[in-house]
């Protein structure tokens, strides 16, 4: 109540110290807000490019293209343009996993770390099951780097010709809700994934699109890390500068 708030005892320093502390945190808040705004702008910029650089509404031509590219995009089955490595997946029960330095991937990305690996390199992973197939509240496709282990809850593939990073972006744009074959929970089986119709440009154009999107993702990740560091810094100072 108002009375409870007015009667509550607080510990405060003198006016000069209050002003210095206030100015310090005002500066930190300004930096945090600045990085938040940059992050929002970069994400909107990427979303805009994704909408304009990929054909939509049955078209074979995107709105925005790099100079030198004018050919129509081609409709292909996903299984025709990718190599599947699903047969090499090995699930590990949580009780048998030994902790280590290698990422252990599942439908939602990295879910643990283990002491061994079965894949090494850049691959594209696509969730095989889980509510996110329908809700899409988080990424559904992931790009791997280096050594890792993969269970049987995510499909694994590489593009035959072109860019895996382009494939990653392509898979993220698909609405999978109509391809759900699960009963107890949403699922994308291998046959469904292989038969997905996708529109793709030449390998060279894929590379150009991928380079642009990769640079935007790097900038987004950089500002995200800076934002998190500033937020942690503020939290630490709040703990140390107040009784």
**28-62 pLDDT, tens digit each:** 999 999 999 999 999 999 999 999 999 988 899 99
Domains of the chain, CATH where assigned: 12-73+210-243 (1.10.287.1120), 77-200 (3.90.220.20)
pTM recorded for the entire structure: 0.85
pLDDT of residue 178: 84
Task: Give the residue ranges of the chain where pLDDT is below 50.
Answer: none
Among 167, 141, 176, which Cα is nearest to 79's?
167
CA gap 131, 179 in Å, rounded: 13
pLDDT at residue 58, rounded to an integer:
84
């Amino acid at each position: 109540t108002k009375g409870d708030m007015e009667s509550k005892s607080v510990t405060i320093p003198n006016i000069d110290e209050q002003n210095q502390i206030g100015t310090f945190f005002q500066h930190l808040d300004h930096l945090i807000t600045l990085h938040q705004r940059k992050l929002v702008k970069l994400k909107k910029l990427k979303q805009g490019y994704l909408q304009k650089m990929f054909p939509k509404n049955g078209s074979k031509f995107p709105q925005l293209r790099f100079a030198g590219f004018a050919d129509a995009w081609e409709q292909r089955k996903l299984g025709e343009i990718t190599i599947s490595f699903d047969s090499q997946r090995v699930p590990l029960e949580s009780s048998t996993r030994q902790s280590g330095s290698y990422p252990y991937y599942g439908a939602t990305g990295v879910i643990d770390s283990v002491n061994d690996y079965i894949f090494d390199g850049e691959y594209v992973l696509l969730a095989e099951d889980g509510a996110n197939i329908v809700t899409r509240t988080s990424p559904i496709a992931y790009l791997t780097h280096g050594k890792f282990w993969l269970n049987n809850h995510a499909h694994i593939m590489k593009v035959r010709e072109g860019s895996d990073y382009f494939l990653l972006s392509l898979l993220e744009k698909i609405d999978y809700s109509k391809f759900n074959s699960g009963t107890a929970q949403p699922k994308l089986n291998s046959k469904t994934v292989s038969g997905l119709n996708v529109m793709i440009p030449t390998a060279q154009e894929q590379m150009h699109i991928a380079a642009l999107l990769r640079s935007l993702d790097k900038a987004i990740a950089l500002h995200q890390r800076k934002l998190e560091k500033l937020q942690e810094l503020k939290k630490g100072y709040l703990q140390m500068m107040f009784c």
